[in-house]
């Protein structure tokens, strides 16, 4: 089995010093890479900027990127050969239209940046997904969590979506734990308790493998 995983944030440069980013640590995506590898998969891990070391497991190939465009290019190249896609990265929705070549100096009390939409990596690849490929997305929500996750699942052609809420203490960014709910395209919903991210990764991988086994 070949698995493509995106992980971590993307950094969208404003100038040579500053960027637009988010608080993603990449821990969930890296844990998933390790778990899929432990189950015998060959993993391509496309990672945004994180403080995590590259996995040393021989069956994990790590590709380091910074921007959403770079992540999309790497994921698009790996996607056709992968049996499973897991979009665990927290990709910046917008980027500056223009990147300053020199550091922007303070001038006045305000600074206005014009932002443009980044490519929606999961949605773009979802449009070319083959029937035999299995796609997993993530939804980090703060309100109407289930409804938003179900809508995202449909729009991006996911087979399974992992929902977690920033309202749950110990879940989301900057934590070693997570609490997730898995929703599939058939409407089935499975809730899990707060667990270390390595254990969450094991739950997700087991669910994916069980689904693939049933469909084989």
The span from the first CA to the last CA of the chain, in angstroms, equals 13
pLDDT of residue 216: 63
Catalytic residue among 22, 143, 157, 164: 22
DSSP secondary structure of 45-84 = EEE-S-SSPPP--TTEEEEE--SHHHHHHHHHHHGGG-SE
161 Cβ neighbours under 8 A, 6+ residues apart: 136, 137, 138, 139, 149, 150, 152, 153, 182, 183, 184
**85 in Cβ contact with 2 (< 8 Å):** no
- In DSSP terms, 47 is beta-bridged to 7, 64
**Nearest alpha-carbon partner for 178 in 67, 73, 32:** 32
Tokens 């449009």 appear where?
127
Q: How far apart are CA 10 and CA 52, in angstroms?
A: 14
* pTM for this entry: 0.94
In angstroms, how far apart are the furthest CA atoms of the chain?
A: 63
Q: Cα-flanking dihedrals φ and ψ of residue 198, to 5°?
A: -65, -40
Query: Tokens representing 5?
Result: 């995983």
What span, in angstroms and rounded, lies between the C-alpha atoms of 108 and 84? Answer: 50
- Position 108 scores a pLDDT of 87
187 CB-near residues (< 8 Å, 6+ apart):
none
Return d(Cα 29, Cα 74) in angstroms, integer. Answer: 16
**Paired strand residues for 191:** 181
Would you say domain 2-215 falls under CATH 3.30.470.20? no
The one-digit pLDDT tens for each residue of the chain (216 residues) are: 999 999 999 999 999 999 999 999 999 999 999 999 999 999 999 999 999 999 999 999 999 999 999 999 999 999 999 999 999 999 999 999 999 999 999 888 999 999 999 999 999 999 999 999 999 999 987 788 889 999 999 999 999 999 987 777 777 677 788 899 999 988 899 999 999 999 999 999 999 999 998 876
What DSSP character marks residue 194? -
pLDDT at residue 123, rounded to an integer? 97
Which residues face 7 on adjacent strands? 47
CA–CA dist 98, 79 (Å, integer): 29
> Where in the chain are the domains?
2-215
Is-contact 50 26, C-beta < 8 A? yes
191 catalytic per annotation = no
């Amino acid at each position: 089995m070949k698995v493509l995983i995106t992980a971590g944030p993307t950094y969208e440069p404003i100038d040579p010093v500053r960027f637009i980013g988010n608080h993603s640590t990449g821990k969930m995506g890296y844990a998933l890479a390790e778990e899929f590898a432990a189950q015998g998969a060959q993993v391509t891990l496309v990672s945004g900027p994180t403080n995590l070391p590259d996995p040393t497991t021989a069956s994990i190939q790590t590709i380091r990127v910074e921007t959403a465009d770079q992540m999309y290019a790497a994921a698009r190249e790996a996607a056709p050969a992968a049996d499973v896609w897991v979009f665990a990265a927290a990709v910046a929705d917008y980027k500056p239209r223009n990147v300053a070549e020199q550091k922007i100096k303070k001038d006045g009390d305000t600074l206005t940046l014009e932002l443009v939409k980044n490519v929606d990596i999961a949605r773009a690849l979802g449009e070319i997904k083959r029937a035999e490929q299995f796609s997993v997305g993530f939804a980090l929500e703060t309100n109407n969590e289930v409804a938003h996750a179900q809508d995202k699942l449909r729009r991006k052609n996911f087979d399974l979506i992992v929902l977690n809420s920033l309202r749950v203490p110990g879940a989301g960014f900057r934590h070693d734990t997570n609490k997730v709910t898995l929703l599939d395209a058939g409407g089935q919903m499975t809730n899990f308790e707060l667990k270390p991210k390595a254990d969450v990764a094991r739950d997700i991988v087991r669910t994916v493998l069980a689904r693939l086994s049933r469909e084989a």
